[in-house]
Structure 1
Amino acid sequence: MKRRDFMQMSGMGLGALMLPSVPLIGNPVSAEQLTEPWLDVATKKQLTETALNAAKSKGATYTDVRIGRYLQQYVFTREKQVQNIVNAESYGIGIRVIVNGTWGFAATSDVTTDGIAKCAATAAAIAKANSKFQKEPVVLAAQKGVGDQVWKTPLTKNAFEIPVKEKIDLLMNVNGAAMDNGAGFVTSNMFFVNEQKYFASSDGSFIDQDIHRIWPTFTVTVIDKAAGKFKTRDAISSPMGMGYEYLDGLASEKIAGPIGLVGYRNSYDMVEDAITAAKQAKEKVTAKSVVPGKYDLVLDPNHLGLTIHESVGHPTELDRVLGYEANYAGTSFATLDKWETKKFNYGSKLVNIVADKIQPHTLGAVGYDDEGVPCKEWDIIKDGILVNYQATRDQVSILGEKESHGCCYADNWNSVQFQRMPNISLKPGTEKRSVQDMIKGVDKGIYIIGRGSYSIDQQRYNFQFGGQVFYEIKNGQIAGMIDDVAYQSNTQEFWNSCSQLCDKDDYRTFGSFFDGKGQPSQVSAVSHGSATTRFDGVNVINTGRKI
């Protein structure tokens, strides 16, 4: 190995250590290589047709092919220094077939006619071997081929075309602004992902998609040396399905709450948020500790998104409900018998939760899933009642449905696609209501902003959630910052305590760039939208402890 290659790969490892949950897929490349053009559409179609024909000749009754180029750029900084820059590219082809009613999958980085033919033969051989143990044949929901299609993330600035220096300058400004306002330590990072995917199937679909995602984030730490304390506050940014325009401030939609700036929509002022974070972290050092008890909670979208993800998103994944994820990620309390009654009160009548992969600027937004199914929106919880799950082509027949929900995904060309969480969002209220209006009706409560630590059981039922900043509400007014807050509940009790929703003017998205699932593990990106929402009589505990 050349010294330069060793240093690049070592750097990728250091970057991973800085944020352990971040997966690094691919080989190190230069920043310039990330902007180089890929194969033209005609070549991609020709290559996938080679795979389709080779699989058919080996007995496949169904085949889909994904040829993909996956690009990543991660930038890590701390205070006045750059810690790491990661540029990675992964390129290859994955072939999935049904032979003898059984799935088979194989992938290769040898994207040549011979390499593709061998890969298709391997996929077919694997399916034939598996068929000896298959008890029931795979049944796919019908899907009419869509022909030649193109879908691209709407963007005005490709993040990979922005010079690395410009990104570093912004992060240095973020760090400097936080330190100028009292921070002792600051880490700031940027994550950029581009998935260039071409899908073809024996159904007659040939789909070219260019998907972009962005996530700027930081953590600010303030230290009180005299008291021997420190407090942190993370960014309230949301990962987005956008380009670098998310950071240029030109389309800034700032959301003001009862304590000032609380969020952004479709753009993000990272420096402004860092200044606010430093001031809030400093205030947290002297904030009084919460008195445990029952409180009405007013939850900001940047906080509520994680609760939605864990208590609604995961338990309504059909493969988890059926027990397919039990070994790795657990099962679900939202079992089929509850859905079959069409009477199971998941939440109050105000709770309307939808799944989708089409909402603009969200992480899950694409034109077609990795089975070539056009993406759409559908109800998960309607007027508080559990009405559906998340299901793919080989699952929907279990629900008595004839059409896939379009939520199948693979995180790389060498990963087999399977059911992944689409955007799961709480619809805003229909009555005009601001956060200030909501707080006026609360006698004893807590206003929570930002995601914190959390814990939830294997069935996604009993849970505990923290946050970034907490404000006590007394007699309809903000009474000051408090700290050491976490709330405990179970999923059904919590969502049935939902009593008020702000309207669409307060609606924002929260997101996860690296949602893990499956064995071998894969990650996916997903957003969760909501407006600020009130939950009554929730148990709050004090998490403070002496060090």
Structure 2
Amino acid sequence: MRRRDFIKGAGAATLALTTAACTKSGVAPEVASVSSSPRRPFSDPSLPELADVALNTARAAGASYADIRIADYRRQRVATREARILDLADDEDRGVGVRVIANGAWGFAASARIDKDEIARVTQQAVALARINAKIGREPIELAPTNAYVDVWNTPIERDPFEVPLQDKVALLLAINAKALEVSGVSFCSSQMAFVREHKFFASSEGSYIEQTLHRCLPGFQVTSVDRKRNSFKTRNSYADPRSVGYEYIESYPWLEEAQQAGEDAVAKHTAKSVEPGKRDLILHPTNLWLTIHESVGHPTELDRAMGMEANYAGTSFLTVDKLGSFQLASELVNFMGEKTHVGALATCGYDDDGVQTTEWPMVSGGVFVDYQTTREQAHWIGRAASHGTAYAQSWKDVPFQRMPNVNLVPGTTPLSLEQLIASTDDAILIKGRGSYSIDHQRYNFQFGGQTYYEVKNGRVTGMLEDVAYQARTPDFWRSCDALCSEEEYYVGGSFYDGKGEPGQSNAVSHGCVPARFRQIDVINTARTV
């Protein structure tokens, strides 16, 4: 997939009507009914009226800021193994969350009941909690300014997964299993699909009224080969990654072809040569590299982590604020962009849960670390005038906070295919697929595995390897990058479930990248590690 094809039309799904408001925290304008209508009508005309109950109640109670999210979610999962169904689940939930600033502190309350009386009660509770929090707060909350928007934004999809009959989904999954089992030596195959539809209406005391419907899908399978003579079993998972798209992704992916190849790979692993440990050049395929990006670049550039606010649970970051704008994180070839705008990427939306219109910005430029992920509350911590739009809450009953956007490795500017990269490499290991991983709390020392490994000698792939993992310190690893393929090799991987916070929340995030070469990285043999 070409990067320009992936990002083309990134803003096409957004039809924004922007008002002139650009309000800072501490100003509480009069709340009235929606003065402008979006170019598409809201799905439920009562949503703005319900939102105004919270906004007017908060203003009357003395809050300097308020927002409300009325949201509903539908989730479906289908799982199979061999010729049987293991799991069918389809659930929905709906509720309202109200967030306010009063006396310079946040207050939040939520309810599964959505009516005017309950919304008023919840809002009063949020204001009361804010006043309690203000007594222990260190400094008043300061929000970066944002425009007010009246808009409807939907994930561009061609076919709604929830309108596809379950029997069609089951039939495809069973066909995947059967295809893998046709390969001699394959013992088991399981497969699954998961779908999420997230619908939410956001309104704020600054004049925004935003409705969004987001779709995500997670397909995949696992093939296992058991060799009783060798007393071993080997697995190979699908390379397919989740996307923010409709069922057309499921219909267009070559499942049966990959199931057969995965079966052949799993069987071949039994006789693959065990890797010799030592320093080796690596060629990392995007199906493997995206996870390394997620852990070693995505998480360290979360500003709250860098400020120590996640230290109790998810750790801190070696990318402390004193390194901003000067630290050479990677080689000069390496550039990373943060964004929530690329069509098909998991974190993409029109607006974040602060009501900020999403955008794209540089995070690493010429190898230098230049920016963090920020929300409205965080921007002033590092002297920024605006938020990067990375606030998100996993449900109506959770508080929005800073969550990872899509973080992408920019392709090389010189035309270079994967085949050409391999041909230009004398001695390396090619790694494909997501495997096991481990990284310390500062995101500084790490170890990653993969699904399949291949030895490259004198510009050719000479055979399969096994028992491979690579270890490095994050800056050393990225500084060793000396080749990036060009945009025709661009691929988007991602995580459906990325955890953070206490209480814990989960979000979905993608990472686009191209095949890349890294020089003289420590490779270990996992079968020999005690």
Three-state SS of the structure 2 residue aligned to 1:500 is: strand
Match of 2:132 in 1: 129
1:197 maps to 200
Q: Answer yes or no: is the 8 Å Cα contact 1:153–1:210 preserved in 2.
A: yes
* Letter of the 1:315 counterpart: P
Sequence identity (%)? 48
Greater relative contact order: 1 or 2 (C-alpha under 8 angstroms, separation 6 or more)?
2
What are the ranges of 5 or more consecutive residues in structure 1 without an aligned counterpart?
1-38, 250-267
Task: State the Cα RMSD in Å.
Answer: 1.3
Query: 1:355, 1:425 within 8 Å by CA — same for their partners in 2?
Result: yes
Question: Deviation at 1:40?
Answer: 3.5
Distance in 1 between the 2:499 and 2:377 partners? 21
In the other structure, the counterpart of 1:323 is 308
Deviation at 1:546, TM superposition (A): 10
Which residue identity does 1:66 align to in structure 2?
A: R
Q: Is the 8 A contact 1:343 1:385 kept in 2?
A: yes
Which deviates more from structure 2 when the two are superposed, residues 222-231 or residues 344-353? 222-231
Aligned partners of 1:500 and 1:58: how far apart in 2?
59
Residue 395 (structure 1) aligns with: 378
One-letter amino acid matched to 2:154: K
Contact 1:41-1:208 at 8 Å conserved across structures = no
TM-score for both structures, normalised by structure 2: 0.91
Q: Secondary structure at the match of 1:145?
A: strand
The residue correspondences of 1:100-499 to structure 2 (distance < 5 A) are 100-146=103-149, 148-182=150-184, 183-249=186-252, 268-339=253-324, 342-499=325-482
- Please give the alpha-carbon distance, in whole angstroms, between the structure 1 residues aligned to 2:458 and 2:276: 16
| 1:277 aligned partner, one-letter code | A
- Report if aligned partners of 1:195, 1:210 keep a CA contact under 8 Å in 2: yes
Q: Give TM-score scaled by structure 1 length.
A: 0.88
The number of aligned residues is 489
Choose 215-224 or 488-497, whichever is displaced more. Answer: 215-224
**1:217-244 C-alpha deviation (Å, 9 max, x unpaired):** 1111011111111100011001000000
Q: Is the 8 A contact 1:452 1:465 kept in 2?
A: yes
Task: Select 1:67's aligned residue among 56, 66, 70.
Answer: 70
Deviation at 1:545, TM superposition (A): 4.8
Counterpart Cα distance in 1 of 2:76 and 2:255: 18
> What is the match of residue 517 of structure 1?
500
In the alignment, structure 1 residue 96 sits paired with structure 2 residue 99: yes
- Residues 439-491 of structure 1 show CA distances to partners (whole Å, capped at 9, x for unaligned) of 11211100000010010001000000000000001111111001000000000
- For residues 330 and 270 of structure 1, the distance between their equivalents in structure 2, rounded to whole angstroms, comes to 38
Distance 2:524 2:448 in 1: 10
The one-letter code matched in structure 2 to 1:47 is: L
Q: Secondary structure at the match of 1:519?
A: coil
Structure 2, unmatched stretches of 5+, are: 1-41
**For 1:151 and 1:237, how far apart are their aligned partners in 2?**
27
User: Quick one: distance in 2 between partners of 1:269 and 1:152?
Assistant: 27
CA distance in structure 2 between the aligned counterparts of 1:134 and 1:463, rounded to whole angstroms: 36
**Do the aligned partners of 1:145 and 1:205 also contact (CA within 8 Å) in 2?**
yes
Cα pair 1:186 1:220 within 8 Å, conserved: yes
CA–CA separation in structure 2 for the residues paired with 1:269 and 1:97: 48
Q: C-alpha separation between the residues in 2 aligned to 1:97 and 1:446?
A: 53
Cα distance between partner residues in 2 of 1:156 and 1:512:
22
Answer whether contact 1:307 1:465 (CA < 8 A) is retained.
yes
